[in-house]
Amino acid sequence: MVSIVILKCLRISIKSKRPGKLTNGVTLLHDNARPDVTQAIQELLSRMKWEVLQQPPYSPDLSPCNYYVFGPLRQSLKGRRRFKSDTEVDFAVGEWFRKEPQEFYQHRIYRLVKQWDSSPYPSDKMFYII
């Protein structure tokens, strides 16, 4: 199953790039699509002792990936030449993410929290802001 392989690769990456993070605890935010909520995935996450942030069923207005970052990223790439490879795309996107100040991300994450707070779902049962 692809999701299991991805989670195992993520664990290896965290271990190599963020020493001590696995010991301190990992909080995972992923969607609740069928492949991500299978029993095998849940058992793996339990064995790895990763906390999983709960979300309401499909709700595009509360999508965690839409936290006001992708619009500015898309705008910055608009009108640029065509990329010849995935590596060029990775570099351009990475360069954009690196140049944005910390306040850029803080502001957008707070906007996401505000969006979640306006949700009809009780936030104490669905989201844990860390």
Tens-place pLDDT, residues 40-96: 888 888 898 888 876 666 666 656 555 578 888 888 888 877 888 888 888 998 999
| Residue bearing tokens 């996107």 | 93
Radius of gyration for the alpha carbons in the chain, expressed in angstroms and rounded: 17
Least confident residue range of 6-20, 25-39, 64-78, 85-99: 25-39
Tokens of 110: 């707070």
Tokens of 21: 């993070």
Q: Work out the angle between the directed axes of helices 2-17 and 39-48 (0-180°, nearest 10).
A: 20
Least confident residue range of 12-21, 65-74, 115-124: 115-124
Q: What is the pLDDT of residue 129?
A: 43
Q: What is the pLDDT of residue 67?
A: 59
Q: What is the pLDDT of residue 125?
A: 46
Q: Work out the angle between the directed axes of helices 70-77 and 86-99 (0-180°, nearest 10).
A: 120
